[in-house]
Structure 1
Amino acid sequence: MSGVVDAKLAELGLTLPDVVPPLAAYQPAVVSGVYVYTAGQLPMVKGKLPVTGKVGGEVTAEEAKELARTCALNALAAVKSVIGDLDRIARVVKVVGFVASASDFTGQPGVLNGASELLGEVLGDKGVHARSAVGVTVLPLDAPVEVEIQVELVQD
């Protein structure tokens, strides 16, 4: 690890995971101009979901918040896979999070704070972003949370 962002990850005791392979016909991240868009990232750890089910049902809001952190870490790994160096990030522009929710669960923003806080811890002011937190009935593989990010790159 050589960059500022890599050093911050190490200081926080975090390691970028391997990029989660696509589950269907898409790429984990693509570059378009000065932006990188990630596909929705599930909270995969070593190729597996640590927990499945609905938030507010089988999964607590606190568990889901931690899973959203994992999603954000996976998203950073996807970004790095296409740009090579996370120091090239000028800022995180937008985060979109989906929470598989029990019918009476309304705490989606709190769950997505896990991803937003992780991005802030790792990237500082560059991690501050706009965000949407959406409750859904079900996510792929019965994942409780899915997160996608859009980042702007430093212009050369």
Structure 2
Amino acid sequence: MEINISEEEQRQCFIEQWNNPNVFLVCEVPVFCRSVDLVTYDKKKKILTSIEFKTKNWKKAIEQVLSTAISFDYLEICIRKPKTEILQQKIVQCCTDIGIGLYFFDMETRKFEHRLIPQKVQKIWNVQKKQVIEFVEKGDVLCKKS
């Protein structure tokens, strides 16, 4: 039986399982003409990570996270774990080549596997990064755990 879950539900599961009290989670952060699904922000180190969630199209998740890359220190995607090892390896290799971090979401257990740690973004537009930091530091936009 196929289990369906929306991107929002997937993101909410991620937020509920997050266990790093030093890193804030902020949903729907505006960057350029779109919003990033989830931003993690380490206030002490001033590190921003963008995470895009997708339930089906992993290539679209990569495309979306790359579209705002110059605003962040790190980029990651979170997608439904593919059923085949071959497809899993293809996605891991693609993300490795680009330097994007990867979470696989197991639909049945609703658990996340941090399969690939992201590499630091090489070209960051500091003016834009500062705008994102100002937005996330407002404090009233933090994602809430249920």
Q: Would the TM-score normalized by the shorter structure come out above 0.5?
A: no
TM-score (norm 2): 0.35
State the structure with bigger RCO (CA 8 A, min sep 6), 1 or 2: 1
Q: TM-score, normalised on structure 1?
A: 0.34
